[in-house]
Amino acid sequence: MTRVAVFDLDGTLADTAADLIAAANAALIELGFHGTLDAGDGAGADRATAFAGGRAMLRAGLTRQGVAEPEDLVERGFPMLLAHYEAGIAERTRLYPGVEAALDLLAVRGWSLAICTNKPVLLADLLLVRLGVRERFAAVLGADSLSVRKPDPLHLTETVVRAGGTPDRAVLVGDTVTDRDAARAARIPCVLVAFGPEGRGIARLDPAGLIDDYAELPPLLERLVPAFRGGRMKRAE
């Protein structure tokens, strides 16, 4: 029975914050405002907002410039943001350290790998190609692949099915409450990364597992979903 490791993309496999924030700032300027979002690592940085999505970034940028009801501008600016993002999708984005080694080891151990992201699927595919890892994933589903998206559990369970597995033999690796909620609704274990903007504070979401480094991921997944050996489940050595 195929085991499936499903990954979120932004903030989980790759640090995309700088390129997302650059695109949001460009969209704000195109709307006639200042590009006020900060991609730095300090206390005032907007990295957590970047991982909440394009609309969240535009909303934050407009609100801090005194726009009391920004939603019409957010919807106007969102296609602008997507266009700017596509043009510069991998200028500063990098996979987190250890990602490729972890994916290799999981594949060797028989895991099917998949992506379930709230990024539009064409942009997700483009980014994975630019990062050189698209061929590793049996399925990639984005925000527009279905009529629903995370935290709706169907987005996650359909990703598992398209990767050749079943939800009872799957794990989701993510970085936000959206991932945790989708996994919980789908009754799939969720592992969260602790190297995002919130650090180990993400443990407050009570995931099935927490990792500080991708080297920790393969043995953790083996414990959460042991392999079948000789008709019985057997935990990896």
Q: What average pLDDT score do residues 224-236 get?
A: 66
DSSP classification of residue 125: H
- Which amino acid appears at position 208 of this protein? A
In the chain, domain spans:
3-15+93-234, 17-87
Task: Give the torsion through C-alpha atoms of 201, 11, 226, 224, to 10 deg.
Answer: 20
Q: What average pLDDT score do residues 99-103 get?
A: 98
Residue 237: what pLDDT? 39
Mean pLDDT of the chain: 94
CA distances for 109 relative to 4, 16, 226, angstroms: 11, 28, 11
DSSP classification of residue 226: P
- Which tens digit of pLDDT belongs to each residue from 124-133? 999 999 999 9
pLDDT bin (cut points 50, 70, 90) of residue 44 is: low
According to the CATH classification, is domain 3-15+93-234 in 3.90.1150.10?
Answer: no
Q: What average pLDDT score do residues 59-68 get?
A: 95
How is residue 225 written in tokens? 């979903």
Q: Is the pLDDT of residue 87 over 90?
A: yes
Q: What average pLDDT score do residues 75-90 get?
A: 97
Residue 230: what pLDDT? 52
Helices (H), the chain: 17-30, 47-50, 54-63, 71-87, 99-108, 121-130, 153-162, 177-186, 217-224
- Which tens digit of pLDDT belongs to each residue from 155-171? 999 999 999 999 999 99
Q: Is the pLDDT of residue 73 over 70?
A: yes
| 204 three-class SS | helix
pLDDT bin (cut points 50, 70, 90) of residue 228 is: confident
> Exposed/middle/buried for 224, CB within 10 Å: 0-12, 13-18, 19+?
middle
| Biggest CA-to-CA distance, the chain | 65
Q: Is the pLDDT of residue 24 over 60?
A: yes
Q: What average pLDDT score do residues 60-67 get?
A: 96
Residue 235: what pLDDT? 46
Q: Is the pLDDT of residue 234 over 90?
A: no
**Percentage of the residues of the chain whose pLDDT score is greater than 90:** 88
Residue 197: what pLDDT? 78
Q: Is the pLDDT of residue 1 over 60?
A: yes
pLDDT bin (cut points 50, 70, 90) of residue 39 is: confident
Q: Is the pLDDT of residue 231 over 90?
A: no
**Positions marked active-site:** 8
